[in-house]
Amino acid sequence: MNGAFFGLLEQPDLLLLLWLLGMSLVLFCAMGLDKRRAIRQRQRIPEARLFLLAALGGAVGGWLGMYVFRHKTRHWTFVLGFPLLALLQLALCVYLNLHGGGSL
């Protein structure tokens, strides 16, 4: 088991992909939770925190969450920001794969 884990450390592009997938799942869930809290008039997740999660790699999940949960779709900062961040993150994966000799 340890060999498989340490093998991952030798593939930084695969680690990046796993990180982006994990952060996307976190932000997707956060978007759903924030929508639920909005409906129930509970304390919300600050927009800055949602953007922080997007900037840390969860932009794809945030973008999907916007439309699955119909949440933040009227806020231009989210409508433009999440897809832009997602494209930058995906471009980074492509760049690392092409120029880093990776396996993505």
Structural domain contains residue 89: yes
Structural domain contains residue 85: yes
Residue of 81, 74, 68, 71 lying closest to 44 (CA atoms): 71
Structural domain contains residue 15: yes
Number of domains in the chain: 1
Between 3 and 12, where is the model more confident? 12
Structural domain contains residue 104: no
CB atoms within 10 A of CB 17: 19
Structural domain contains residue 18: yes
Asked if pLDDT for residue 2 goes beyond 70, the answer is no
Give the global pTM.
Answer: 0.85
Query: What was the pLDDT predicted at 81?
Result: 97
Residue of 11, 27, 12 lying closest to 69 (CA atoms): 27
User: How do residues 47-78 score in pLDDT, each as one tens digit?
Assistant: 999 999 999 999 999 999 999 999 999 999 99
Structural domain contains residue 40: yes
Structural domain contains residue 27: yes
Domain of residue 67: give its range.
Answer: 2-99
Could you tell me how far CA 43 lies from the centroid of its own chain?
Answer: 22
